[in-house]
Amino acid sequence: MAPVNHTIFHHFSLLPPEIRDQIWHDALPDATRPALFLYQKGCWRPRRLMPGDEDYDPVNEDCNLNMEFDYKLLTPAQYDVPLAFVNREARRHALGWIRAQGLDIHHNENRRPSFIRYFDPNRDALYVPTEKWWEFIREPINRQLQPDLEGETIMLKTYVKHLAVSDSLLQMKASLGGVFEYYFKLEALYVFKEKALTAEFSRGSLKKHQVYEYHPLRRGMFVWDVGRSKFHYEEHKSDREEPTHRLIKKAAERLRKELAIEAYDGFQIQRAKVHARV
């Protein structure tokens, strides 16, 4: 007797369309969430402003050279959408989900599609590993010293709003203040436990293209009050014994002088958790 393949439902096509649609809908991936994008050297690039560009100076052409952190050069997040490869009906649902999530479709040399999302400064965070911190801080300075920018008047432009680091950086008592000189649109600094990051990165390493999503923890949030030149925070009793919270508290104290110079009202430092997308 020939073996029976129990994984195939031969009568699926006979189901009413509305039931098939519901089954395909329930098989779609979860919605994309804010993700960590790894810092990469080489994203600071000069760009000559043209008429119609924001900040273009029609009077003084020498003021029309920007040096920008081009976040589109960061490696995009790649998502698995298995339904896109089942059949035409399933693909229709998959394409609807892909559009709703703002993903782009790219094809490799074999014409096989992949589904990617570029860094979104309004929701994603730029993750800087501790060992890359000084390279990250110094890169815009070093880039301005290259021969192609010698003698040029440069306007800096950056779009990164959310920065992510591990608590190991705070343990080193590294200077965080220098980051505001070039990444002056920062709204939040997320701090992750190094051990948790390592565990998730290890778990995610089994996939060729792994997306790491994160969510901030509301408890123990430090918020900069520009009027009072100090951080406001609500400290629960359990927070006082939490090592990462204590590290953030000390880092916040070191940042007071830097933040008092600029009007970073509402800037936040908070703990966050990361998980490898499944």
Give the pLDDT of residue 268: 92
Give me the helices (H) in the chain, please.
Answer: 17-26, 88-100, 133-144, 167-171, 194-204, 243-261
Digit-coded pLDDT (tens) for 179-197 = 888 888 899 999 999 998 9
**H helix or E strand, kind and range, residue 70:** none
Q: Judge whether 191 and 166 are in contact, CB under 8 Å.
A: yes
Supply the range of the domain harboring residue 167.
15-276
The Cα–Cα gap between 192 and 168 comes to: 9
Amino acid (1-letter code) at residue 38: L
Nearest CA to 77 among 207, 215, 186, 199?
207
- The residues, any chain, with a CB within 8 Å of residue 271's CB and separated by 6 or more, are 190, 191, 192, 193, 216, 217, 219, 220, 244, 245, 248
At 203, list the tokens. Answer: 């778990």
Average pLDDT, the chain: 87
Tell me: the pLDDT tens digits for 13-59?
778 878 888 988 888 999 999 999 999 999 999 999 999 888 888 98
Greater pLDDT, 29 or 11: 29
Please check the confidence at residue 7 and state whether its pLDDT lies above 80. Answer: no
Distance CA 193, CA 14 (A): 51
Q: Is residue 93 part of a domain?
A: yes
Q: pTM of the predicted model, to two decimals?
A: 0.88
Q: Is 1 contained in some domain?
A: no
Number of structural domains found in the chain: 1
DSSP category for residue 4:
P
Question: Is residue 82 domain-resident?
Answer: yes
Give per-residue pLDDT as tens, 133-182. 999 999 999 999 999 888 888 888 889 999 999 999 998 876 787 888 88
pLDDT at 40: 96
- Asked, for residue 3, whether it belongs to a domain, the answer is no
171 assigned to some structural domain: yes
Residue 1, pLDDT score: 46
Query: Using alpha carbons only, how large is the chain's radius of gyration in Å?
Result: 23
For residues 179 and 69, is the Cβ–Cβ distance under 8 A? Answer: no
- Asked if the structure places residue 10 within a domain, the reply is no
27 vs 238: which has the higher pLDDT = 27
Q: Kindly state whether residue 4 falls inside one of the protein's structural domains.
A: no
Q: Which one-letter DSSP state was computed for residue 71? A: G
Confidence of residue 110 (pLDDT cuts 50, 70, 90): confident
Q: Within a domain: residue 8? A: no
Residue 262 has pLDDT above 80, yes or no: no
Return d(Cα 249, Cα 221) in angstroms, integer. Answer: 10
Q: How far apart are CA 206 and CA 199, in angstroms?
A: 12
